[in-house]
Each structure stands twice: as structure tokens, then as C-alpha cells.
Amino acid sequence: MDRKAHSYHDSHATDRDIAFFELGIKLAALFHIAIGSPIQNNTEVLNQIALGLKKSIECQPFVKKADVSINLFSENGEYIFTKQHPYDYTTITGKNLQAEVEIQYKNLNLVGAVKWIPELNYPFMSIKKITQL
Amino acid sequence: MDRKAHSYHDSHATDRDIAFFELGIKLAALFHIAIGSPIQNNTEVLNQIALGLKKSIECQPFVKKADVSINLFSENGEYIFTKQHPYDYTTITGKNLQAEVEIQYKNLNLVGAVKWIPELNYPFMSIKKITQL
Amino acid sequence: MDRKAHSYHDSHATDRDIAFFELGIKLAALFHIAIGSPIQNNTEVLNQIALGLKKSIECQPFVKKADVSINLFSENGEYIFTKQHPYDYTTITGKNLQAEVEIQYKNLNLVGAVKWIPELNYPFMSIKKITQL
Amino acid sequence: MDRKAHSYHDSHATDRDIAFFELGIKLAALFHIAIGSPIQNNTEVLNQIALGLKKSIECQPFVKKADVSINLFSENGEYIFTKQHPYDYTTITGKNLQAEVEIQYKNLNLVGAVKWIPELNYPFMSIKKITQL
């Protein structure tokens, strides 16, 4: 199956190229699946939503492990999203989502991450760790 | 806050109208958040993904309870999605998602559901139960 | 087909109940499909992305018309998202999305809307207009 | 800005590694944004929905060009999704979505694609073309 899959890539793509390509796929899939999901500032609720996302991304090809966390949210201390009234909740955004995904493709183990980088004003996806097996 | 929110609706909208409107919102939000998430045929994994979706929808206004389940999947017995090789997984679709959402708005308790109806070839959203409190 | 569909609802659900239920479904579907899509501050680009969303929602049952617009975005005048560098873009959020959906179900014509209400700190979905045909 | 962004990656990540990582991100973002959007078998409607997706992905960092098409759908000739009745529509899935994304990162120009590969029973993302500038 792997060999079949490999044959669909350009023949100049190396195993290393494909490994980084796959890492990018995983992080973006996770991000776009998560964004927009309702959350509130309750640690147990946040943990269960994060666990569901982790388990889902771990179903994807080559994923060894995913870690997902959703940060508690406060904006000027004014909006606290603890369900004090029906509309008191928010959603997962690029600002409160943090995740790491570890994949293995052939003899490369890669860890990628997504988190909000204030300096970039951006939920930046990065290559955290490269391990040759 | 409720009164403020109510003032944004057409003045001819009754509490009952708003209750059914809110029920529709919840089911469609759940559906579109869930669709496309990776899954595999492992009951524990499916349960944890379903639990994450339940907890997320329960953060929305007026939701009393959500129940989500993802059905095991087989297509002609051929594709079984148990992660026997890296590509052996599928995603949540209208065919394998089942959910019920219970909301309370003013003195109405409503239960809505979404599930695949083969006769309609459609993941149909329905009003299951109407209870006057 | 309509009669078949109707039979899946609780028998106490009136046509009016179903109409408001369907209106809620359309707005939430639109919202969750749109959220997270990359955008930049270029009117033509925003219009084409909005048009794609409009056309998609108009495929749903009972929709007569959808209008979608995405507001130009600026945050303190600092982040202007005009693609001055590769990371200079943002995504559709509850704050910059505005939409109206008109549906007809039996003899009711309904218009619903979603837009950010600063007072509620919330992308509020409302019933805008109820017309008996 | 690029240099700042680069500093968030592992120092062993080469420009080539980052280029393939970014290519994977674009394809998965496109896929998960598109999946679940309502469509029907009307060429003009499909083209406008596809154009909206193309324009959105072209807002992402390093994207030179995206091409998106949504295939007409028929299942055993029975379900044709032409809006002959309100429920006669379908949604974008891994089976009817086809897209290519071209990015440029430093001196590499890469084209990636996603389309359904029946042999793999999978919407496979592939590296189509690698050009050193």
C-alpha cells in the first residue's frame, strides 16, 4: 500500500520530502477541524474536547501521537466564557489552540506544532523536532 | 442578556419560533463541526471523538444535553478501516454520524436529531420531541 | 419527498415549527462552513469567496436566496491583511462574516441573519422577517 | 518577517523541508475547508463554489496559484443531485473534490494535488512537481 501510494508522487520527491509534506497535512487538518468548535472556560470540558481532537488526528496516516490543548480564554478580564448566561461561551480559534503532532515516515520521526505567535499575529505551524531513526 | 438577545429578532417571532430556530442551529453546527474528522473502526477511539463533539455542542446556548455516536463502518465488507495500514481510516460523514440534541428555551423543551435516512439518501435533521414545561 | 421527510418529525411539529427549524439549520451550516477560511483585505477576493459561500448555501433545501459578505478587517489600524508579506492574511471569523438567508417552507417565507453584535460579544443569529404567503 | 518565522522551526529544518511542510499545510487546509459544503449538479454553481475555494487558499502564505474543481456526481445513475426536489443535493466529499496548489518557498516551486484514488480508496494528497528556481 505504501509503495502504491508512493508511486503517485513526483519521482524526484524523496522520503524526507514526503515526510515533511505529511507533517504539514496533519497540522493543517487538525487546525481546520478544530477551528469554530464551541468551548467554554471549564477545564474538564476543554480537556474532553481536546481529547476528541487528539484521537481523531491520531487516526491519520503515519501519526504516532498528537497532543492538543485549548487554553483558557480571557479578553481584558471582561469576557470569561464560563456559561454564566446562555451566550457566555466562545469557540476554538487560532489564539487558544495549541497542538503537537508526531509522525513517522520511513526512517524519519518528525514533530510539528501549531500555536499562536503574538509577534507574528498568526497561528504559526512549525517543525519542532527532526529525528533520524 | 436574554432580553437583549430577543430584541434582535423580528417582533413577530414567538418564543416557540425562536426555540425551533435554536434547535436547528444546534444540529447544523454539530453536523458541520463533525463532518470530515478522521475516524477508524475502534470503539474506544470513536467514543472519545463522539464525546468531544458532545461536550463542544453542550457549550452552545440553551443546550441541556447532546448525545453523539459514530457508527462502525463497512462497505461491502471490503474496507474496514481498522488501521491495518496507514491509509486504512475514514472520516465522519452524514452516513455514520448520529446525534440528538436537547435544548430548553423559555418553557419549551425540544429534542432534535440527525441521522442518515436511506430512503431520503440524506442525513436528515428532525424534530423528535416537543415538551411544554 | 416532502411528505416522506415530514413523517420523520414529531407529529406535534407544525409547518411553522419546521420552517424555523430549517432556518436555524441554514444559518448554522453557513456559519460553520465559512469559519476559518483564509481571506485578505482585497475587495474582489472577498467578493468571490462570499459568492462561493452564497452559492453553496443556496443548494440546501428550501433556500430561496442567500447573501453573504465578509467585512474588511482592521485591528487598531495595525494589522491590515493586504498581503504585504506572506503571513499578512486572516480568516473568516464571527466578527467579519455577515449573511442573510431567505427560505420558503410551505406558506411561510422567512429571512434569518447572522452578524457580530458587539453588545452581545457574539455572532448572533436572528429571525429578521416572517412573511405569510 | 520570513526570518522571524524561520526562527520558530528546528534549526535542522532546511528550506526544502519547510517548502514541503508548507505544501502539505495548503492541501490539507483546502481539503478540510471544502469538505461538507453543499453542492448540486449545476456546472455554474459548482464553478462558483470552486472559485471561492481557490481564492481563499490563494490568500495563504507562499501560494502562487490554486486550481479547484468539483466533479459532477452520480451514484448508480440514481441520485443525480440537480435540485429536482428540495433534498436533491449533496456535499463536497473526498470523492468529488480535485485540486492543485502551487507554492513558492525560497528557490523551490512545488505543485501538490489532492484527488480521489479509487485504488487507495482515499483522497490522496501528492507531490506533483518540484522545480528548482
Can you give B12-31 as a three-state secondary structure string? CCCHHHHHHHHHHHHHHHHH
How many B/C residue pairs have CB atoms within 8 Å? Answer: 104
pLDDT of residue C74: 66
pLDDT of residue B120: 80
Chain C residues closer than 8 Å to D66 by CB: none
D-interface mutation test, from A4, A16, A17, most D Cβ less than 10 A away: A17
Tens of pLDDT, residue by residue over A110-120, are 999 999 988 88
Residue closest to C105 by CA, chosen among C25, C11, C34, C12: C25
Which residue of D36, D121, D122 is in closest CB contact with B36?
D36
Residue C107 pLDDT exceeds 60: yes
Does the CB of C36 have a partner CB in chain A at under 8 Å?
yes
Contact C119 B4 (CB under 8 A): yes
Residue closest to A71 by CA, chosen among A41, A100, A109, A111: A41
Chain A residues closer than 8 Å to D4 by CB: 119-120
Helical spans, DSSP H, in B14-93: 15-34, 43-57
Residue C33 pLDDT exceeds 60: yes
Residue of D85 and A131 predicted with greater confidence: A131
How many A/D residue pairs have CB atoms within 8 Å? Answer: 104
Contact C127 B22 (CB under 8 A): no
CA dist A29 and D35 (Å) reads 11
Does the CB of C27 have a partner CB in chain D at under 8 Å?
no
Residue closest to C92 by CA, chosen among C76, C114, C111, C113: C114
Contact B52 A57 (CB under 8 A): no
* Joined grid coordinates for residue D68: 479547484
Does the CB of C35 have a partner CB in chain B at under 8 Å?
no
Contact B35 D35 (CB under 8 A): yes
Stretch A73-84: mean pLDDT: 70
Chain D residues closer than 8 Å to B94 by CB: 91
Stretch A21-50: mean pLDDT: 96
Does the CB of B28 have a partner CB in chain A at under 8 Å?
no
Tens of pLDDT, residue by residue over C56-94, are 999 999 999 999 999 987 665 566 788 888 888 889 999
Stretch A15-36: mean pLDDT: 97
pLDDT of residue B56: 98
Chain B residues closer than 8 Å to A45 by CB: 55, 58-59
What are the φ/ψ torsions at residue B83 (nearest 5 degrees)?
A: 70, 40
Sign of CA dihedral D6, D9, D15, D19: negative
Residue closest to A120 by CA, chosen among C86, C38, C46: C86
The residue in chain C having the minimum alpha-carbon distance to the alpha carbon of residue D30 is: C37
Chain A residues closer than 8 Å to C125 by CB: none
pLDDT tens, residue order, chain D (133 aa): 667 778 899 999 999 999 999 999 999 999 999 999 999 999 999 999 999 999 999 999 999 999 999 998 766 556 678 888 888 888 999 999 999 999 999 999 999 999 999 888 889 999 999 999 9
Tens of pLDDT, residue by residue over B29-59, are 999 999 999 999 999 999 999 999 999 999 9
Residue A75 pLDDT exceeds 80: no
Chain A residues closer than 8 Å to B37 by CB: 33, 56
Chain D residues closer than 8 Å to C5 by CB: 86-87
Q: Looking at chain B, which subunits does it touch, using at least 3 CB pairs closer than 8 Å as the criterion?
A: A, C, D
Per DSSP bridges, beta strands A38-39 and A90-91 are antiparallel
Which residue of A1, A4, A117 is in closest CB contact with D8?
A117
Write down the pTM of the prediction: 0.95
CA dist A111 and A116 (Å) reads 17
Residue closest to A40 by CA, chosen among A115, A92, A116: A92
pLDDT of residue B13: 97
Q: Looking at chain A, which subunits does it touch, using at least 3 CB pairs closer than 8 Å as the criterion?
A: B, C, D
Chain A residues closer than 8 Å to D21 by CB: 20-21, 23-24, 112, 125, 127
Q: Looking at chain C, which subunits does it touch, using at least 3 CB pairs closer than 8 Å as the criterion?
A: A, B, D
Residue type, A51: L
Does the CB of D60 have a partner CB in chain B at under 8 Å?
no
ipTM over 0.90? The verdict is: yes
The residue in chain C having the minimum alpha-carbon distance to the alpha carbon of residue D38 is: C56
